[in-house]
Amino acid sequence: MKNIVNSTVKFSYNISKGSIKNRQKLISKYNKQIFSRLEQNFKDNYISVADAQKAIDEVLPEKKVIQIRPISSKNKKEDVGNSDFLYGKNWNIVGQTIDIPIKNNKISIKNLSIFMHELTHVIDTLLNPKTTARVNGMYLRRTYTENLSNIIDKKLYNYENIEETIPFISNKRYKKTKKEILQTRENELLKFLKDYSVKDKIDYIQEMRNTLIEERTAYTEEEKYAWILTKKHKIHLPKFNEIGNLKGYFFDEKIKILKKIGFEIIDKERKEHAKKLKTRRKK
């Protein structure tokens, strides 16, 4: 099966080219324009799905397959939003979804910061076709395992919760606890990676790193619009909305750990390759 990234899930190169920072600026730009259109269509603290879909279609520079779907969740504190791929024949990705609580074809303004979080993921994917190709390739090779999903969800994409676990913690103890947590996460990563091939290790590290970068961007955008909704529109948001909690995920620190581990794996592989070449020359 060919690993094809369909044009419906990626922007043209002339749009997506550039650095990570440039792509993040584009995400913020599109989000700002879309949110402005949403604000113009607020009615009784709701926005219609049709108006939300129209805002996305009008702002994005190219027509893409993005479906806004109702999410079904028994525990809405844990699962208030999601974004996902739409798959066609042979498991090729043909579109994306924004899954959000919907009632009578309307989205509550209380859930709009979550909507912006998921929209950020969708736009991020459109701007990063190489990441999509890598993930799709892993699915096709069946190397995207449940173990990989678990370590991302439970060890990396994890709110570490220091201040809530230890109320009134001193700055000194906070730094010590943070250092211990990060060392534990590094040890868990090394243990997870040790039995895989070099290719799989690099693929996994890239996927983990990209996931954290994407989540950092999505939470930053979510927090921005959560503040607008509370300050400008006087909306009382649910407790699980992310306002002021971004630093507790340690995204930057975990990304640095992954970068370090990746460098060490590549460095070791290069040295072993050079050693083999040297041995062959002697023969």
User: How many percent of the chain have pLDDT more than 90?
Assistant: 71
> 203-235: b or e for each residue (b if 16 or more CB lie within 10 Å)?
bbbbbbbbbbbbbbbbbbbbbbbbebbeeeeeb
User: CA-to-CA distance for 214 and 196, rounded, in angstroms?
Assistant: 25
H-state helical runs in the chain: 13-16, 20-40, 49-59, 112-127, 129-141, 146-151, 162-165, 171-193, 198-231, 251-282
Q: What is the pLDDT of residues 46-103, one digit of tens each?
A: 999 999 999 999 999 999 999 999 986 554 554 589 999 998 877 778 999 999 999 9
- Encoded tokens for 71: 């999410």
What is the residue whose two structure tokens read 């599109």? 30
Tokens 């009578």 map to which residue? 104
pLDDT tens for each residue of 108-154: 999 999 999 999 999 999 999 999 999 888 988 889 999 999 999 99
CA dist list (Å): 95 to 22, 123, 132, 199: 24, 12, 11, 27
Output the pLDDT for position 76: 52
Neighbours of 29 (CB within 10 A): 12
Cα(39)–Cα(41) distance, rounded to whole angstroms? 5
